[in-house]
Structure 1
Amino acid sequence: MAGARSGAAEAPAAGEKKKVVPVNIGVIGCGAWGRDTVKTLAQLPSARVLGVAEHYEPFLNRAKEAAPNAEGYSDYKQLLANKEIKAVVICTPTHQHKQVVMEALAAGKHIYCEAPLANSIDEAREIVKAAKAHVGQVFQPGLQHRSDPQRHFLLGFIRSGAAGRIFKARSQWHKKESWRRTSPNAEREQEVNWRLRGNVSLGLVGEIGLQHLDNASWFLKAEPVAVSGYGSIQLWSDGRDVADTAQVTVEYPENVLVNFEATLANSFDGDHEVYYGSDSGVMVRKNKAWMFREADAPLLGWEVYARKDAFYNELGIALVANATKLVAQGEKPAEEAPYANTPLFYGLEAFLHNTRTVADGVADFAENFDIKDTKALAEYVDSLHGALMPAATAIEGFRATVLAIKANEAVVKQQRIPLSKEWFAL
């Protein structure tokens, strides 16, 4: 089963406590992101971390600190051989994803694979085709925002037309850091700094911008038609061949333009997105969002009661989930955004819930029908979608990866690339 469709899990009856049966899970790759993943899983009652795999011993030891009951493996193949572990999160470098995914699928594991799925379209396509062929195994790409409840609230708001016609968007990621990691071992330092090597790295727009660009495609409900890119090394002239400052403009149908820019040379104004509509602009910063109304925009009604925040000489109306309902009940909307966890938390939460739901469903099917009847099994698994939490599908992960690859290519070549529909097709 390659991903989950957008939907909400069925709620337990009033007064009934839903028993959480944790999923036995392992994490493969214990760099900085892998260790964050282990820490996040430790916060989720639906996860039982039984294994962590990393061939670099210091990273492995640090990961085990967050999961003291987990077995440490220097070879991920040993983790995959552990039949108690039912699911894995793949946090290896992008160019190593394919081999690990293929072996994890063959081992019968449910998979959460970080995005981008691969650093080439061919390998990303092979991954998704293989995932779709393994009926009854969850495969979820790491597009965490597609599981974030605040993003789902904003999705409905933007698509409802409340901001008018969205005609452009821009987003940025600014962080002053080198991206370089140090190691006393020269070979290890080369390995750990894979993001600085153009032969394997998708650069800032691929490794970071992928999430931003996927948000835009999702909110706009549109497929990109072309991408232009520019990039250069502005600060970190240390032998790398990946730009430390880059920007891309993605063209969508009806002349809608989305701009993403990133830099490792300056941290001012951080990480945010802005969607521009004919009636309002919408700014998103982490788990909070604001609407900036045009003077001639029609009244929606609820904004009269909403909290207002000043931004220089503009007044932003806080977009808070369920604010309209709260006002109608005579209650004051929360001052802070109601969803305080990270997108990674929500992505993993959805993966664990969907894995448990599908695994239980497959077990029920096997008790009553022929498990070798893959067509019937696929139909049965498909019938479970109403009970799944929102999560990115395999095809959504593939399309986001294709755009990331071509956006990086545009930066490297400093040119405009028309996007062929064939690239986005399996």
Structure 2
Amino acid sequence: MNRRTFLQTSAATAAMFARDGHATMSARSANDRVQMGVIGPGSRGKEVLRQMLHVPGVEVVGVADVYEPRFAQADAVAERTVFHTKDYRELIARPDVDAFLIATPLSLHREHLEAVLHTGKPVYSEKAMGFTVPDCQGIIAAARRSRSILQIGHQYRYAPWIVASMERIRKGEIGEPTHVYAYWHRNNDWRRPVPKDDPNGKLEHLINWRLYRETSGGLVTELGVHHIDLANWIFGGQPTHVLGTNSIVRYRDGRTVGDNTQCTFLYAGGKRMVFSSLTDNAKQGNEFWVYGTEGSVQFTIEDAVFYYEKKKPLPKEANATVVEHGVETGASYSTGNEMPYRGPGDKVQVTYIDPTLACASAFFAAVRGGAKPLANAEVGYRAAIACAVAHDAVFTEEKTPIPALPVV
């Protein structure tokens, strides 16, 4: 993407959120410089930082990480040498940092978020917002005490094809949404390479923290949090209960979270979200299906397609018969209209914008204009709390209640 294209895209993104009242950005404020401090420039942190640096007027001035090789990697993304420290408190104390990106392992989010929120400076935190139930409750309390902007990195809330689809869903295009089926299937072991010189296994747990139960919510959190957030958006609230399961079926390499998981999240009014994640078969990939009384929508990480229900056939008399494939059966046994629809559907027509870039653009629009982010602390809580409960529910395999958002 060249600079002209990016500036046009960035302006369009800001305008889209301004229409919904989520953010505003004037031509003057778009030129204001924002100096970023990054806590946790690891794999995801570098990608978010890379997208942030595409936003005009944004630069990084310092990074904090306990793993020193990250410093050179962050410098490469910044294309210059920035301030480095292994103690995040030194970075927080710097007066030249205007806003923060937190992309540390999930189990550290509460510590880092509460410290930054206490400064009153804006912060963009990767999802999930918190790891445990007390973490989520502590973070939402800290966010409410603070006057700072907090945006959670639920980037698909900013993807143009999802934003456009949500508007059509709200207008009743697929009737009443009743079910969500979400998949994130891959065919790899979800493991990252570790330097060979790791006699105590310290680097293994530092780099592959997502594979261990004491630091990770497993697949349902690291991947499913995206889908839970979208289901919350569609159903207008968080789930009340979850039941699920997980197991290690293929990658027996010392990990303590499952290499597959299946969960059902229960919402008010009998509505449901079903989530499945595999690491040994990539069929389905990342798909999110919304089923309504009049139609369905399929989201992927690049597009969305609407499908519509066929007209319902008139009910047949109790003693009526039908002939299917040359065989006469009772009317109640008829399988008519049960073959899957295989047509092209109605693809949502929008200009593609990388969701992380759109999310970052909205964050800086909020920082410059003072508007409340769409993916705010309450949005982050409702998704993270479901994951925090599911973290244990997939091991107990029991229906488990999910705490509601605390009342102010």
The answer to whether the superposition gives a TM-score over 0.5 is yes
SS in 1 for 2:31: coil
1:19-418 superposed matches below 5 A: 19-69=30-80, 70-135=82-147, 137-181=148-192, 182-184=194-196, 185=198, 186-296=201-311, 313-320=342-349, 337-338=350-351, 340-358=352-370, 385=371, 390-418=373-401
Q: Does 1:7 align with 2:21?
A: yes
Whichever residue aligns with residue 401 of structure 1, its letter is A
Q: Distance in 2 between matches of 1:249 and 1:424?
A: 23
Whichever residue aligns with residue 206 of structure 1, its letter is T
Q: Distance in 1 between matches of 2:277 and 2:407?
A: 28
TM-score normalised to structure 2 length: 0.82
Q: Distance in 2 between matches of 1:9 and 1:98?
A: 26
Between stretches 31-40 and 220-229, larger displacement belongs to: 220-229
Q: Is the 8 A contact 2:184 2:277 kept in 1?
A: yes
Cα–Cα, structure 1 residues 72 and 412, in superposed 2: closer, same or farther, change >3 Å?
Answer: same
**Sequence identity, in percent?**
29
How many equivalent pairs are there?
359
- CA shift at 1:17, angstroms? 7.6
Between stretches 67-76 and 261-270, larger displacement belongs to: 67-76
Q: Distance in 2 between matches of 1:230 and 1:314?
A: 34
Mark the runs of 5 or more structure 1 residues left unpaired by the alignment. Answer: 298-310, 321-336, 359-384
Q: CA RMSD in A?
A: 2.3
Q: Distance in 1 between matches of 2:143 and 2:356?
A: 21
Q: Distance in 1 between matches of 2:24 and 2:224?
A: 33
Q: Distance in 2 between matches of 1:92 and 1:349?
A: 21
Larger radius of gyration: 2
Q: Is the 8 A contact 1:51 1:72 kept in 2?
A: yes
Q: Distance in 1 between matches of 2:19 and 2:155?
A: 14
Whichever residue aligns with residue 407 of structure 1, its letter is A
Cα–Cα, structure 1 residues 264 and 77, in superposed 2: closer, same or farther, change >3 Å?
Answer: same
Between stretches 270-279 and 140-149, larger displacement belongs to: 140-149
Q: Distance in 2 between matches of 1:19 and 1:213?
A: 32
Cα–Cα, structure 1 residues 346 and 399, in superposed 2: closer, same or farther, change >3 Å?
Answer: same
Q: Is the 8 A contact 1:52 1:63 kept in 2?
A: yes
